[in-house]
Amino acid sequence: MTYHGMRIDQKVSDLNMILIYLNGWEEDSRKEPGGKVFRAWKNYPFDILNELERQNLIRQYPKSIIVTREGQTKAQGLMHQYFAPSARGCVL
């Protein structure tokens, strides 16, 4: 099924990536002293999380996820794509 030329499952994945980013926070890295990571709680459908991890946008841990730099950049671009004001309005 498509909507505005995009597959619905891709749209759901994109919107989950945005939600993960908006609900995340930056904290000190547990593995790299002095480093920072962007973490979010793992409260999203597992099939979507698995796909985002396959795309190297997140890394999964037992109770939380780390949003990679690529994931942060992707989420920011998706927010602009879906929610930025434009002549044609919101694309949702």
Asked, for residue 91, whether it belongs to a domain, the answer is: no
Asked, for residue 88, whether it belongs to a domain, the answer is: no
- Cβ neighbours for 28, distance < 8 A, ≥ 6 positions apart: 34, 35, 36, 37
Burial (CB < 10 A; 0-12, 13-18, 19+), residue 87, is: exposed
Asked, for residue 15, whether it belongs to a domain, the answer is: yes
Q: How many folded domains does the chain comprise?
A: 1
Tens of pLDDT along 47-66? Answer: 999 999 999 999 999 999 99
Residue 42 in contact with residue 61, Cβ under 8 Å? yes
How many whole angstroms separate alpha carbon 48 and alpha carbon 46? 5
Asked, for residue 32, whether it belongs to a domain, the answer is: yes
Q: Domain residues for 35?
A: 2-83
Asked, for residue 35, whether it belongs to a domain, the answer is: yes
pLDDT of residue 74: 97
Asked, for residue 71, whether it belongs to a domain, the answer is: yes
What is the pLDDT confidence band of residue 1, given thresholds at 50, 70 and 90?
low
Tens of pLDDT along 61-91? Answer: 999 999 999 999 999 999 999 888 764 555 5
Domain with 75 in it: what CATH number? 1.10.10
Asked, for residue 90, whether it belongs to a domain, the answer is: no
How many whole angstroms separate alpha carbon 59 and alpha carbon 71? 10
pLDDT of residue 4: 58
Tens of pLDDT along 3-53? Answer: 556 677 889 999 999 999 999 999 999 989 999 999 999 999 999 999 999
Asked, for residue 92, whether it belongs to a domain, the answer is: no
pLDDT of residue 87: 47
